[in-house]
Amino acid sequence: MSTQEIRFSGFGGQGIIRCALITGKALSLYDDKFATMTQAFGPEARGSACSAQLVVSDERVLYPYITHPGILMALSQEAYDKYYSELPKGGILIVEQELVKLRGEHPDLRLLRVPATRYAEELGNRLFTNLVALGDRRAHV
């Protein structure tokens, strides 16, 4: 059985939960996978810490919470600082290039830096940062 655990993280208003929802639905509908999503966010509507966890499997998911995420998308510095240490060797780290300053080197990880905010602004709306990060061809795994 193949199971993948993914954490999407950033701050409220970046569309973190929407990223997990889109990814889970796409994998379920078009790749015949099972997916569960859980989410956590602060009491504020925008600006507070936010994360969504996605468990994807070839079989029914019996436990919906992640225990060993293999992929982390961090769209804020706070999210990166809080979660990057959870990634195992060979894990995938996707960061917003202009909002996240890396702490040291990550030779054991596949690192993808995406200028998602800048691209979204060039498209005309910063609110599309999440979709740019999700759809950047370099970020596909």
Per-domain residue ranges of the chain: 3-139
- pLDDT, tens digit, 9 for 90 and up, residues 64-115: 899 999 999 999 999 999 999 999 999 999 999 999 999 888 889 999 999 9
- pLDDT, tens digit, 9 for 90 and up, residues 30-77: 999 999 999 987 655 566 778 999 999 999 998 989 999 999 999 999
CATH topology of domain 3-139: Pyruvate-ferredoxin Oxidoreductase; domain 3 (3.40.920)
* Confidence (pLDDT) at 139: 47
Helix (H, G, I), strand (E, B) or coil at 19: helix
Other beta carbons less than 10 A from residue 22's beta carbon: 16
137: CB partners within 8 A, 6+ apart: none
* Confidence (pLDDT) at 138: 52
